[in-house]
A and B are shown apart, each in its own frame.
Chain A
Amino acid sequence: GNSVTQMEGPVTLSEEAFLTINCTYTATGYPSLFWYVQYPGEGLQLLLKATKADDKGSNKGFEATYRKETTSFHLEKGSVQVSDSAVYFCALRGSNDYKLSFGAGTTVTVRA
């Protein structure tokens, strides 16, 4: 079945540091890939997505590139802010699937 493996946290960074959260997946066919963010006490919001190989999703300074050859979708941000403190989830939707399969989530804390 489909699965997502995500870098374990927690991750603690200083403001303006570079953030990378690794995500790899196992899926048949051509899944769509997503990063969701969950701020404290809130629900999940879509951060970015990519639907085919070599697509790059980007939003709010975050980027991730769909790499089929390495089955990866790593999230990066060049300069984090305190407001980026949240839990980040990598997820995939299989090509014949309705549901999302999520990684375990990575808690990121950015200190001023």
Chain B
Amino acid sequence: DTAVSQTPKYLVTQMGNDKSIKCEQNLGHDTMYWYKQDSKKFLKIMFSYNNKELIINETVPNRFSPKSPDKAHLNLHINSLELGDSAVYFCASNSPGARGETQYFGPGTRLLVL
């Protein structure tokens, strides 16, 4: 009965590789997000999709490409991985129509680029 799930939980890979992280939510939400948490715990929005449409695209290298095949899934593909991509990536979801609508977060994917 997991609400927001991410796979994999841990990802260790070499520089230059291409990798994908997957996110699924079973809460019936229509908006999903990717956040990046750096080594100092700072969290920053990367992307957001609403009903499969990209609505937030922050200043992120174009090596990062999100894909939302349907409202319940949001994947993140990263090309040509760099050392600086090492971080924890969190997926979140909500239906933001009401004020203060809570975003629900997944457990995170810990990416280490060697």
**Min C-beta distance of A54 to chain B, whole Å:** 14
Do B42 and A105 touch (CB < 8 A)? yes
Interface residues of A in 69-112 (CB under 8 A from B): 87, 89, 93, 95, 98-102, 104-105, 107
The residue on A at minimum CB distance from B90 is: A43
**Min C-beta distance of B26 to chain A, whole Å:** 15
* Residue interface mask B74-105, A partner, CB < 8 A = 1: 00000000000000001010001001101111
Q: Which of the residues B40, B50, B104, B107 comes within 8 Å of A98, measured between beta carbons?
A: B50
Mostly helix, strand, loop or mixed at chain B's interface? Answer: strand
Question: B66 an interface residue at 8 Å Cβ cutoff?
Answer: no
* Residue interface mask B2-36, A partner, CB < 8 A = 1: 00100000000000000000000000000101000
Contacts A44-B43, A89-B43 known; 19 new A-B pairs at CB < 8 A: A38-B41, A42-B107, A43-B4, A43-B105, A43-B108, A44-B90, A44-B92, A44-B105, A46-B102, A49-B102, A50-B100, A52-B99, A93-B96, A95-B99, A98-B56, A99-B48, A100-B103, A104-B41, A105-B43
